Structure formats: C-alpha cells, structure tokens
Chain A
C-alpha cells in the first residue's frame, strides 16, 4: 500500500517540487509557493464545487432548523422532510464531501514531499534517494538549499512571524465559512472550534520545519481568495454577531408578532413565500457560476 502511494502520488509531487526548485534558480521556498499555487489551481474546479455545495447547504440551514424543531419527536419524518428539501433545492447532501476526499491525498502528498525534500538530517537525505527520478534537474537541486528570506526551511521559524501568519490566515478562512450559531451554547462551541484550529496550527508552526508552515500560509491565502470569489465576498467574516434565529447573514431577523386567527391565512402565504425564496436561493447557489455574486 505504501509502495503504491509512493509511486502514484508522493514521488510525482516530490520530483516536480525538486525540479521546480532547479528551474527557479535553486530557491526551494519559491518552489513550495509555486507548486502550492499550481496544485490549488489544478484542484480549483473541485474546490469551487465544494464551496458551492457547502454554501448551498448553509442557505438551507434555517429551513432545516425549522424542520428539526417541527419533527423533533419523529426522526423518520424529519429525515423524509429533509430529503425532500434537498431534492427540491437540487442539492446532494454528500456533494461537499467528495471534492474534499479527492483533494485530501494531493494535499498529503504535497505535505510529505516538502518534509522529505528538505532532508534536514543525513538519514532523511539518504531516504530521499529512494524517491527521486533520474532527471538531471532533480539531481542538480539535491541537497536543497533551505534558505528562503529569513527562514531555514528545514527548521522551525525562531520568530513568531510564520506562526502568526499560519494562525491568522487559517482563522480568516474558517471565519469566512462558519455560519453564526443559533443559540449561545452552540455559539461558544463554534467560536471555540474556529479559534482552536488556527491556534493549534500556530503551535505546530513553532515545532515543524518552516517550509511546511510556508505551504500552510500560501495554501490558506489561496483558500481565502477562492472563497472570496466563489462565495461572493468575505462571507461570515463580516457578518455581525450570531443572530437569534439563525438566518444567513443576508437575512434580517423578522420580529415576532402576535397574530390573530383572522391573520393566519396571510401568515401562511408569507411563510410559503419565504420557503420558496429559501429553496430558490439554495438552488441558485448551486447553479451559480464562478465569481457569481
């Protein structure tokens, strides 16, 4: 299994990275940036699909929450209704998962390639020999020069600059896609999750080679750019604090009104119109082309 992984995925990425390093005048830092951009661009259609699916799912959230409240005691009915809702909106609930699954091996291969190529110790360098092609451009680059800007790419950044960049860009990216929670308990959990990942990766940066941290920063920045153009703007990053009933940032909370029995039909019509709007919006999110806002 490991052999197959190395041959099909790791080695092509690793050798491309090293060849790129030679072509860029021996700068491994530039090679990391360029390859990260190339990989992210190659996976762009998948990323767009994933982003659109996620956003479409988020658009349906108010409706889903409504259904959850309505059918809290009847799970089977709830599932039927939810499926109906997805069907009407033309959304596959697993649609945002598959693009992520396809991208995952490429990201892992890129990560492993950076770690292997840097070969900080003699045993790492020796190990690298078993994964290199006989291309002249590859042989010329080895052993790689790990100097880039103020960094030694095979060692952690002694300053906090990279850690802050990694944590900061990751927080922005997460914040852009995380919808505000509906209740205070959920809200505190969401904000903790949004903070935990950037903090964790910031800490990782202090102990991992800075070449890897450079990849994280570049990857996050590209993620933010894609998110910005695909989802239309800064998303939930610019949204105000969590609304009480959990509508999307574009939706204004409607004040609760006491309705007399005579007003019931008009309320039902209003509700039906809102439902129709939500479904239409979700459907549009999915159909919306690149850079559509």
Chain B
C-alpha cells in the first residue's frame, strides 16, 4: 500500500498537477467570459415594421404582416444592416485570442423612429456612435461602405471620433434626439445630427435612457445622480444625489419620477425638486424600467416578482410571483399586463388584481423590453429570435430567428 502511494506520487504528480490546472481553468473561464447574452434591444415600431438592434451589431427591420404570412426575408420594408465596427488598429494578441484596439459594435439600445429615420446608438468597448438610418432605403454601396442616403448621418461625424458606448435607449421629443452615454454626457441632436447644445456632463457613466417632461430632460448616471437639464439650452435645472446609483431608467408620470436603485428600492420623487414621495424595498434590484398607467406603477423586479403600486401613495396593490427574475420591462397590451421572466416564460396578468390570465413559454431568456401593438406582444429573446404572441389566446403567432440572416 505504502509502495503504491509512493509510486502514485512519483509518477503521477506532474500529470495530477496538469489535471488540477485544467480543472482550475475550466472554473476560471466561465468566470471571465460569463454567459453569452443575446437579445438586449427592444423594438421601435412604425407602419407595421419593427426595428431592433442585435448583439452582433446589426439593425434589423421586420414586417409583422410578412412574418405572420411566413414570407421569405426580406419582404417589403424589411432589411438587415450591419453597423460597422470602428477601425481596429493596434490590437493586441494573447494566448486566449486577440483583443482589437476597438471592440466590435453591438446594439444594446432600443432604436427609435422619427419620420423616415431610425436612430440607432452603438456600443463598442469604450466607444459609441449615434446613427440615423433611412428606414426606407438603408444599405451599402458595392464596396460594402454604408451608402449614406439623403438625410442619413452619424455622430460624431468624423469616422475616428466617438462618444462613450451607449447602453440606454435614445428618445426623440419634438425632433430632438436625447441620448446618454458611458462617457457621462447627455447629448441633444437635431434631425440633421447637429448638436442642439453642448453635451451636458453628468460626471459619471450613463447606462439608462433619459426621460423628457415639461421642457426638461431627466437623466440618471452611475454616480448616484438624477440630473434635470433644460431642453432649451442644456443647463442644469436641479439634481439630486441618492445614497446609491440608479439602476433603471427613470419614468415620468403626473408630477413624479419613478426609478429603481441598486439598494433594491423603487423610488417616486417629485418632478419639480426631486423630493422623495415614497419608496419601496424589493428583494432585489428594480432593473427593468417601470411603467405607469391610470395611477398605477407596474414594476418588474429581479426578485422574481411583478409589483403594482398606487402611483401617488406608493401603497402596494398586489404582487405576482414569477418563476425567475424579471429583467425585461413589462408592457400593457389590450388591457392586460404582460411581463417576461429570465427563464423565458411570458406572464399575462390582470392589471387590476395581478391575477394570472395565462402563461406562454418560449423557453429562452428574455431581457429586452417587451413591445405591444394591439393585442400582439413582441418578444426579443436570447436565442436570437423574435416572437409574436397574441395575449388574448396565448398563441405564438409567428417567430423570426435572425442568426442566419446575412
């Protein structure tokens, strides 16, 4: 026995240490790469066409009517456009692969449509760009260079200039586009891509969408601030500093602003001065942007629950327990509340009581905000597919998977 142990040590020690190294590496690799998320961007709808971004840097337009008829892609009004990654000079290579100086472009932000333009903001490592694409005639020339049509633009205009990476979706109000970026700045651009005023510096990374009400833009940053900026000249009207950073994008309804924070609270603050109206502590972050309708705030939480609160008092009206965290913003469709869990289950609820009407399982994680038109709810799932669900009967009317689209 003793001999065997000695022999084992002598002859197997090197091999054993190699095995340990491999085990260690197998544990280390998931730690550094993390799960490969897809399907982050929500939809912008216009004239029966849905526009959305993908994590492989594309903007895709799909015709809901053509999809329901099962027509081949691209049909009328449909296209897929790759957002070019910034020039990748000076990349570095290591044994685990190469790291380009510039990361490939991805699209986290939900596009926004105004007139004939669809606005897209990109995320490429530290860098980002805002692009206005002609939704009726996007494309490339024969050399693969984006064929910039009349009215199309990108910001900043110089190809080697960037703003910070964009995560939060831009919004358009009265032909002005507002977008926050990782460089901590809030940008206001007109329909031709010109700055309406000098970018407003908030002092820390912005990963949320701004909100606009009464000539003011409300924007939160990861420096724990909610800043309110004048639409007219970009000057600071007021700001509040919270004990922790704001996790969700702010939503304005009536005279209050609603948002979730990283200390698991959902806040309602006054629109005029940021004074606290009420707050509610959940079991995890209120990551998804809440929605407000008819004096009720509906908020999905990463503690697996959907909550409904009285918008003015903060009184909890009901809560519904889902099977997994709710990271995707819920939506109201055809007088029903629809929420999606990270496990890929779509819950259709009664907005008054929180009673479950039905569930639809798509089987893949959902992080993108849901989008509703009529009685249809559109879901962008992690498996690079878009699902159209009829909330009245729970049918999956159609699905469109874009991983094979060139």
Contact = CB atoms under 8 A, between A and B. Distances in A.
B327 interface: yes
Contact of B244 (A112, A115, A116, A142): A142
Nearest to A208: B32
B92 A206 contact: yes
Contacts of A93: 5-6, 9-10
A76 B3 contact: yes
Nearest to A75: B7
A108 B245 contact: no
Contact of A104 (B13, B24, B93, B126): B24
Interface in A122-178: 122-127, 129-130, 134, 136, 139-140, 142-143, 155-156
B97 interface: yes
Given A94-B9, A112-B27, A116-B31, A123 B262 contact: no
Contact of A139 (B94, B96, B263): B263
B95 interface: yes
Interface in B1-32: 2-3, 5-7, 9-10, 13, 16, 20, 24, 27-28, 30-32
B108 A207 contact: no
Nearest to B281: A134
Contacts of B356: none
A203 B95 CA distance: 7
B284 interface: yes
B20 A104 contact: yes
A101 B20 contact: yes
A130 B302 contact: yes
Contacts of A203: 94-95
Interface in B122-169: 125-126, 167
Contacts of A209: 32
B37 interface: yes
Contacts of B95: 200, 203-204
A237 interface: no
Contacts, number: 112
A125 B167 CA distance: 12
A97 B93 CA distance: 34
Given A111-B31, A123-B40, A207 B96 contact: yes
B374 interface: no
Interface string A94-114: 100100110010001001100
Q: How many of chain B's residues touch chain A, expressed as a range?
A: 35 or more
A112 B26 CA distance: 12
Contacts of A101: 20
Contacts of A79: 3, 6-7, 10
Contacts of A140: 243-244, 262-263
Nearest to B283: A134
Interface stretch (A29-37, A80-88, A246-254, A270-278): A80-88
A200 B245 CA distance: 38
Contacts of B285: 129
B99 interface: yes
A129 B287 contact: yes
B96 A204 contact: yes
A191 to B, nearest CB: 17
B72 interface: no
Contacts of A86: 6
B16 to A, nearest CB: 8
Q: How many of chain A's residues touch chain B, expressed as a range?
A: 35 or more
B31 A143 contact: no
A214 to B, nearest CB: 15
Contact of A207 (B5, B28, B97, B302): B97
Nearest to B4: A79
Contacts of B261: 139
B115 interface: no
B133 to A, nearest CB: 23
Contacts of B264: 134, 139
A108 B94 contact: no
B307 interface: no
Given A93-B9, A207-B96, A115 B31 contact: yes
Nearest to B28: A111
- Which of A93, A125, A205, A207 has the most chain B CB atoms closer than 10 A to its own CB? A207
Given A139-B263, A143-B222, A122 B3 contact: no
Given A93-B5, A139-B264, A123 B32 contact: no
B325 A136 contact: no
A47 to B, nearest CB: 16
- Which of B95, B167, B262, B284 has the most chain A CB atoms closer than 10 A to its own CB? B262
B35 A127 contact: yes
B207 interface: yes
B243 A97 contact: no
B262 A156 contact: no
Contact of A108 (B3, B13, B27, B283): B27
Interface string B319-344: 00000010100000000000000000
Given A83-B5, A127-B34, A205-B94, 12 more contacts: A97-B13, A116-B31, A122-B167, A122-B207, A136-B263, A139-B261, A143-B222, A155-B126, A204-B96, A206-B92, A207-B97, A209-B32
29 contacts: A76-B3, A80-B3, A82-B10, A83-B6, A93-B5, A93-B10, A94-B5, A94-B9, A104-B20, A108-B24, A108-B28, A112-B27, A112-B28, A123-B34, A126-B367, A127-B34, A136-B263, A139-B244, A139-B262, A140-B243, A155-B125, A203-B95, A204-B94, A205-B94, A206-B92, A207-B96, A208-B32, A209-B32, A212-B32
Interface of A: 75-76, 79-80, 82-83, 86, 93-94, 97, 100-101, 104, 108, 111-112, 115-116, 122-127, 129-130, 134, 136, 139-140, 142-143, 155-156, 200, 203-209, 212
